[in-house]
């Protein structure tokens, strides 16, 4: 979002009108804390207006603070309705796959959010902690922007997870972490990690055995192929799997793509260091040093649209 251009004397009258509306016209005398909240609401809406492309090149003189506020307020209202529709779409086929964190956030937290969210007097308030982590960092988003974006990511993740038979998916989640139901990890991240291991081990999901023999095979495969395995084996298999999402497949692939690379680097690091788990900083360094160098992930991987899946069948 763009920065707010306006001086305080242009914003105070808008806050005053909002205060009269808040008190139903009885008074403009409100607490300091409430005045701060209403100023935050005004600034949030103005930033919403600035985020719209049609305002991006508008000169400061041609867009008054009042016009920007009203435009942004209308945008917030539309987003709130759109987010509610999105939530109901998710609910139609929602499956938490027995993970309590995701289930609680969707079935209990989200209804409370839409019950208490105030798009007029406090649009900047996110209200929920959104404990279930999607595969996008949302720390720079607040209010309905954050919630709508979180819901859109959950919808994409559900599309990906629905590409698998449910029994296979539960097996993969348990293979990654037998206590995943009580954890707070991203489901797609866990599934992708197991998928990558399956590809490297040359195994089908139908064969739900993963032991020392498979770990040794992964280590040998990594020693022979290195990061080139992403292009040669992993991307083709997972791209074909994601294609089951239909017309949304490209957007879904783009969303999942970084997590595939991260999963590969974690597995590579663990195999190289005999079981030692890589932390996030190691992942970042390894991705920059190896994956980017050998595969140019931002172009080569994203362009893998129709490669053959090799020896692993995820059907």
pLDDT in tens, 232-289: 889 999 999 999 888 899 999 999 999 999 999 988 888 777 655 555 554 454 555 5
Let me know: does 200 contact 267? Beta carbons within 8 Å: yes
Please state the length of the chain.
Answer: 315
Q: Is the confidence at residue 150, as pLDDT, over 50?
A: yes
CA gyration radius, the chain: 24
pTM: 0.83
Q: Which two tokens stand for residue 88?
A: 């109901």
**What value, to the nearest 5°, has the Cα angle with vertex 200 and ends 194 and 202?**
100
Closest CA to 77 of 125, 121, 119: 119
**DSSP state letters, 71-85:** HHHHHHHHHHHHHHH
Confidence of residue 27 (pLDDT cuts 50, 70, 90): low
C-alpha to C-alpha distance for 68 and 66, rounded to whole angstroms: 5
pLDDT in tens, 91-133: 999 999 999 999 999 999 999 999 999 999 999 999 999 999 9
3-state secondary structure of 195: helix
The angle that helices 143-161 and 187-201 make with each other, rounded to 10 degrees, is 30
Let me know: does 45 contact 34? Beta carbons within 8 Å: no
Let me know: does 231 contact 261? Beta carbons within 8 Å: no
Let me know: does 290 contact 265? Beta carbons within 8 Å: yes
Q: What is the predicted pLDDT for the residue at 184? A: 95
C-alpha to C-alpha distance for 262 and 192, rounded to whole angstroms: 10
CA distances from 233 to 59, 87, 180, 262, 306 (A): 51, 36, 27, 16, 13
Q: End-to-end alpha-carbon separation of the chain, Å?
A: 42
CA distances from 89 to 12, 110, 146 (A): 40, 13, 18
Cβ neighbour number for residue 15 with a 10 Å cutoff? 23
CA distances from 62 to 17, 30, 51, 65, 211 (A): 22, 32, 16, 10, 67
Confidence of residue 222 (pLDDT cuts 50, 70, 90): confident
């Amino acid at each position: 979002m763009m920065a707010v251009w306006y001086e305080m004397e242009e914003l105070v009258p808008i806050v005053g009108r909002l205060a009269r509306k808040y008190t139903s016209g009885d008074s403009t005398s409100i607490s300091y804390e409430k005045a701060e909240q209403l100023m935050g609401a005004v600034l949030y809406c103005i930033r919403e207006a600035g985020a719209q492309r049609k305002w991006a090149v508008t000169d400061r003189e041609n867009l008054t603070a009042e016009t920007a506020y009203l435009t942004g307020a209308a945008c917030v209202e539309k987003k709130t309705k759109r987010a509610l529709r999105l939530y109901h779409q998710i609910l139609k086929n929602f499956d938490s796959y027995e993970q309590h964190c995701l289930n609680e956030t969707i079935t209990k937290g989200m209804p409370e959010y839409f019950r208490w969210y105030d798009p007029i007097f406090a649009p900047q308030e996110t209200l929920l902690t959104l404990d279930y982590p999607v595969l996008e960092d949302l720390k720079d988003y607040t209010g309905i922007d954050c919630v709508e974006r979180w819901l859109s990511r959950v919808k994409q993740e559900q599309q990906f997870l629905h590409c698998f038979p449910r029994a296979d998916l539960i097996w993969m989640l348990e293979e990654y972490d037998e206590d995943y139901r009580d954890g707070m990890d991203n489901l797609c991240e866990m599934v992708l990690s197991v998928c990558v291991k399956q590809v490297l081990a040359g195994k089908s999901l139908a064969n739900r055995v993963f032991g020392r023999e498979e770990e040794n095979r992964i280590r040998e495969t990594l020693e022979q192929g290195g990061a080139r395995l992403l292009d040669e084996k992993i991307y083709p298999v997972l791209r074909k799997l994601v294609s089951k999402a239909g017309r949304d497949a490209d957007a879904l692939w783009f969303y999942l793509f970084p997590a595939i690379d991260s999963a590969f680097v974690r597995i590579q690091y663990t195999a190289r260091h005999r079981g030692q788990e890589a932390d996030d900083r190691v992942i970042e360094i390894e991705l920059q040093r190896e994956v980017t160098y050998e595969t140019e992930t931002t172009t080569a991987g994203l362009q893998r649209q129709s490669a053959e899946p090799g020896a692993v069948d995820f059907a």
